[in-house]
Structure 1
């Protein structure tokens, strides 16, 4: 570690570990002192389980980054078994990812932003960004795209991709309706999430955050601060080593709290678009994995404010932070901006107030 809390001594790590340095540097460090501990990286909480060891061996040993919560996200889908097995086999590397259908769907812009390093990383990113219903629909489109590819390669016939995709989506929808009637599942009340940006109360600073998974093993954290009138007060972009999508999103929230301390804010409202991060913060989630050190930091930092409130907003209500996270920082570790702001940011902030 370096003399600065939460930062690795990068040069020392590279000198000692060589080609394995990036794996270590990708692990976020806590801001507060903690005892060193070992953790099992194939479960979300870092605790070893026989089940996770079975999956790790099944998908090819220590090179896999499949975690238990990803598997749960697949098998918990209210979708046909064939669709679940398609996603499962994609994780194991048996299938590729066709993209021809996306241009005809409403998800084209979203899929462009998703990680391309592996199907697993893309699934994890989507799981944190969209609702379960949307995730099932997107999985059906992936399934249809793969079917189109196989038909062309093995049957020498190119089907109508749009018609085939519509058929798969109808099949999935019919299955959901059928399974609901057969199992008579009690209708659960769906948690409401904000879809529009809203101004905070007078005296409160609202802080929207987002994370961007970039290239060359780097990610970026975006923070946007606005007052009770919706006026921009500051924005910030910080470059960090690339890690899991949820881990980077959690780092964005922690970074927002650190900035709020630096700026002297006392009453803050923090709003990311990663629902899993909000749930972990509110439930005081504990575990051995590095991400839980970040959650611990967040819960310690929030006690330093007079008021600190967290909420989730859908991506459509977080467009300014989404743009700020993609801003260039050059060789600087972070870029903090005050008035005047780039016109693109101002335009999006104005649209939030008019919607």
Structure 2
């Protein structure tokens, strides 16, 4: 009689045939096999998604794009010399080597040109905290590579390292062990859980990312932090010139608010008044609150409430500027303002940092 090898009953099924083929393929090709450890890492989900793409060699490197018949130069955008594959862009490029050297991680010299083999060795060498640090470096190295491709801009290695350190700290503060987080709705103020009030007022922002590198006009990133249990609110804002260099920052407590959106509107009103008092007449305002941005940039009926009053006040102030626009940015691009806002609850009066960046974000500008 016919007998299917691999099944206890000796009966063939499509599922058993599939796993027979896939299992043999994985075993013979030596693919990455430590996925459970990767998925359990306490890092942002986007880091895991990026790493999954890198380990499966599906990042849009020049080598992969050429295989897809995209007409593009094979040279690496960071060094301009070598052909770019995943291993080169994340590990072997001269710019990347500099970052790894300054990270002080005990990473041995590369003996392979296959990324998943290199990363598998890293998992065997580093402890859990060092693995999280390495994953953060890989993610922001890739972001820097994309900046080199699209904006012809590369941050200094020290800035990459400072960004990763801040990102890990912020993620761990925002996602403490055994603590249920009260997550803010998309596009609203940073809602801080009641358990974090008092002594735990630490920066609870999400992933910090490098600010966009180019705009002729000065720009101001702002956000409101909001304690839902006590209705307390605060604003954080950072003002940059057209090249992304630091000018000044604002941290201030706000009046009690009824909702995250109201906190964002009051924060916008304070920021516009602050910029006007500084003599600024042409500026881009950037917020991660999509609802507020739509109220201020599109014809939209204003609610007949305290929220509507705050929005109308913002509109009236905007008319007095020579030029002002309110633009939406992802929360990950507004991380510095989040850090300032969550630390502003410690102040009883507005704090202006004209002489240099405030301590919570000073490492980013070193």
Q: TM-score, normalized by length of structure 1?
A: 0.44
Larger Rg: 2
Larger RCO, structures 1/2 (Cα 8 Å, 6+ apart): 1
